[in-house]
Amino acid sequence: MQIRKLQTKDASLFKQLRLQALKQVPEAFAASYEEEVRETIDFFESKLSNGEVFYGLFKKDDQLVGIISLSRSKLLKMQHKAAIGSVFIAEEARGQGLGKKLFIYVMEEAQAQGIEQLQLVVAAHNKKAKQLYESIGFQVYGFEKRALKINEKYVDEEYMMKIL
């Protein structure tokens, strides 16, 4: 297993895994499969080069099985914190502790960049994800009822944070 920052050369692998994530767990993302499936490779290249940093977990050099993003504010008063998002582990790679490894890697990267606090949003009903986040020190600090609406069904979200 290798974890590294994704680059524009990884755009086709990123697109494939991201679309898989959006299709399999639509309630875990604000973006939708229907929106992004129509996008060209240029769209995914720009996502990998626009300031939000994506990290990838590779099973082999050409097999991307996990993604996570780290986004730091450009505002001076908010640069002590960053948001984690777009977390996804492919089904065939789940249950092996890889999500935790990916999170620990990103937390270490954040600390090395001087980030003091991490925040994330999780679907309130996603017990496995919340269990993982709590096991590495994230705590709930907020709740949003009906945060997402997918096909006339609402998804509540919890806001979590961790001081590094």
Q: CA nearest 39: which of 1, 65, 60, 11?
A: 11
3-state SS assignment for residue 148: strand
Q: Considering its fold, how many domains does the chain have in total?
A: 1
pLDDT number for residue 1: 87
Rounded CA gap, 110 and 122, in Å?
20
CB-count burial class (<10 Å; 0-12, 13-18, 19+) for 140: middle
CATH number of the domain that residue 119 is part of: 3.40.630.30
Contact call for residues 87 and 67 (beta carbons, < 8 A): yes
Report pTM: 0.93
What does each of the 164 residues of the chain score in pLDDT, given as a tens digit? 899 999 999 999 999 999 999 999 999 999 999 999 999 999 999 999 887 899 999 987 689 999 999 999 889 999 999 999 999 999 999 989 999 999 999 999 999 999 999 999 999 999 999 999 999 999 999 999 999 999 999 999 999 999 99
Range of the domain at 142: 2-163
Contact call for residues 40 and 101 (beta carbons, < 8 A): no
- The total number of residues written for the chain in this structure: 164
